[in-house]
Amino acid sequence: MMVWQGHEQNEWSLAIEEVLGGSTDAPATEAPDPFSLADPAKVERILDAAGFTDVTFTDVHRPIYYGRDVAAALEWVRGFTCTKEVLARVGAASAERALGRLRETLAAHTSRDGVWFDTRAWIVKARRR
């Protein structure tokens, strides 16, 4: 399986957090954490309890494609639970400002072949006991 490495190692997550974090003083989201399996020791414990052994982790450091242009990337990011929750908590004016900052961030990561962010993940392999 592929799982994200830590939040701090994923440029896309840091960028979105920075943009959305400035739009509200509300507490952090209650949404499931996409980085909940970033810790190899935790993953090994879970897999061991599920009857797996010989767990290995392969580091993947590749850019992630967010869309062909800013509009496509923005549509994708607006579908993220964290994005929806922040935009729902703030007023219309604050939401528009946050979306403007998000557009700027996505534009800064646009190249001739789309919107890309740096990312780190693990490919996790295991064998059933």
pLDDT at 21: 81
pLDDT at 31: 52
What is the pTM (predicted TM-score) of this model? 0.80
DSSP the chain: -EEE--GGG-HHHHHHHHHHHTT--SPPP-SPPTTTT--HHHHHHHHHHTTEEEEEEEEEEEEEEEESSHHHHHHHHHTSHHHHHHHHHS-HHHHHHHHHHHHHHHHHTEETTEEEEEEEEEEEEEEE-
**CATH number, domain with residue 70:** 3.40.50.150
**Total domains in the fold of the chain:** 1
Range of the domain at 32: 2-128
pLDDT at 23: 44
pLDDT in tens, the chain (129 residues): 999 999 999 999 999 989 988 443 444 545 568 899 999 999 999 999 999 999 999 999 999 999 999 999 999 999 998 899 889 998 899 999 999 999 999 999 999 999 999 999 999 999 999
pLDDT at 25: 43
pLDDT at 81: 86
